[in-house]
Amino acid sequence: MCLAIPAKIETIEGNKAEVDIRGLKRSIGLHMMPDAKVGEFVLIHAGFAIQRIDPKEAEETYRLLEETGITIT
């Protein structure tokens, strides 16, 4: 039930935004993220943006995973 999917904000009008979810366009509520901006990535749950997704953190996490050492010290 707590599934949330990433989407990109394309336009904002009041507390509603049009987002792009892998090509699918949808209108969502920005009630919880009044300071969200066009171009930002957000997590969508039940028709609302609930949190930002930080692409830099995503890159950084992946980079660290890629560099995982197998040797245990």
Partner 1 sequence: MINLDKFRDPVVAAKLVKRIEGLCDGPYSFMEVCGSHTMAISQFGIRGLIPRSIKLLSGPGCPVCVTSLYDIDRMIALAGLKDVIFTTFGDMIRVPGSHSSLREAKSQGADVRILYSPLDALQIAAENPGKQVVFAGVGFETTSPTIIATVLEAKEKGLENFSVYPAFKTVPHALKAILESGRTKIDGFLCPGHVSAIIGSAPYQFIPAEYQIPCVIAGFEPLDILESIVMLLEQLRSHKKEGLAFSVQTEYRRGVPDAGNPNALAMLDKVTEPCTAEWRAIGSIPETGLCFREKYVSFDAAKRFEVDVPPAIEPQGCICGQVMMGLHQPDECPMFGKKCTPESPVGPCMVSSEGACAAWYKYGTEN
- Using CB under 8 A as the binding rule, whether residue 14 contacts partner 1 is answered as no
Three-state SS sequence of the chain: CCCCEEEEEEEEECCEEEEEECCEEEEEECCCCCCCCCCCEEEEECCEEEEECCHHHHHHHHHHHHCCCCCCC
- Please identify which residue in 10, 37, 38, 54 interacts with partner 1, judged by CB under 8 A: 54
Our finding on whether 61 is near partner 1 (CB under 8 A) is: yes
If one asks whether residue 10 binds partner 1 (CB under 8 A), the answer comes out as: no
Q: Which residues bind partner 1 (CB under 8 A)?
A: 1-4, 6, 8, 20, 22, 28-29, 31-34, 41, 43, 45-48, 50-55, 57-58, 60-62, 65-66, 68-72
